[in-house]
Amino acid sequence: MDDFEAAFWPDESPVDNAVVMTMGALHEGHAALIRAARKQVGREGRVAVTVFVNPLQFGPSEDLDRYPRTLDADVRLAEENGADVVFAPSVEEVYPNGEPQVRLTAGPMGDRFEGATRPGHFDGVLTVVAKLLHITDPDFAFFGEKDAQQLAVIQRMVADLDFDVEVVGVPTVREEDGLALSSRNRYLSEEERSHALALSRALFAGRDVAAQGPKAVREAAAAVLDGAEGVTLDYLALIDPHDFSEAADDFQGEAVLAVAAKVGSTRLIDNVRIIVR
């Protein structure tokens, strides 16, 4: 990994460096992150894309072995969208002594919503993100807003532990019909994909009544999901983005309306950022 640092950041020149961290199976959402990173650092800056399927963030019954691995296509997409280098280490390179004994914890923010469904998930995310930030040493790190809780805990880690990097969130990229892009969408059958549209429709329904307050937002979103065919709801929540707690009934300001559900055997997440009045 030291060789990577020397190769990618070869001198002390004043150009900016950026990293886009991924688990591969790249799609247009990742392409948007790479383009945003390139725009941020300019033509002379450097953009790295990391591709690493991190075992620490998968639970024992989750899809680690099934998770798609498409490195050749990932490299092409990264290059076409402005990356200078793709760093795709093996598990043995990232964790040379086996599973790390010392890990970061996401604290209370990591125990809610996604963390409640997937215990330890965000501890695994933060541990590998911290390692990759040390390895790539960027000025900017780009993450998608689709993984809203992940973005929030990474931003909190950077602030709490004084990482010298600016974390930049990039808006969710959607298909024309509203479905949020996800590497897991490839698991959906045509019928399941149609059912999955209920998630974004629910979020948009809540967003449309944001001026009427938290209760109206929750009710409008829930009305779309109630009885939605093929959808098994995990949670629908209006969230205070500062600590990722459930927003109170009198909450006002920026909030995250988030949903998680299984469609068939595939678990999907989505969210929209709204201003509640």
Which single residue is written with the structure tokens 């209760």?
215
Is 236 annotated among the ligand-binding residues? no
Binding site annotation covers 23? yes
61 annotated to a ligand binding site: no
Distance, in Å, from the CA atom of 190 to the CA atom of 197, rounded to the nearest integer, reads 11
Question: Is residue 28 marked as binding?
Answer: yes
242 in active site = no
Q: Is 99 annotated as a binding residue?
A: no
Please tell me whether 150 is known to bind a ligand. Answer: yes
Name the catalytic one among 30, 121, 134, 195.
Answer: 30
Check whether 184 is labelled as a binding-site residue.
yes
* Residue 30 assigned as binding residue: yes
Q: Are 230 and 132 in contact (CB under 8 A)?
A: no
Q: Kindly report the CA angle at 260 between 166 and 204, in degrees rounded to 5?
A: 80
Binding-site residue positions: 23-30, 57, 144-147, 150, 173, 181-184
Binding-site residue positions for ATP: 23-30, 144-147, 173, 181-184
Instruction: Please give the positions annotated as active site.
Output: 30
Binding-site residue positions for (R)-pantoate: 57, 150
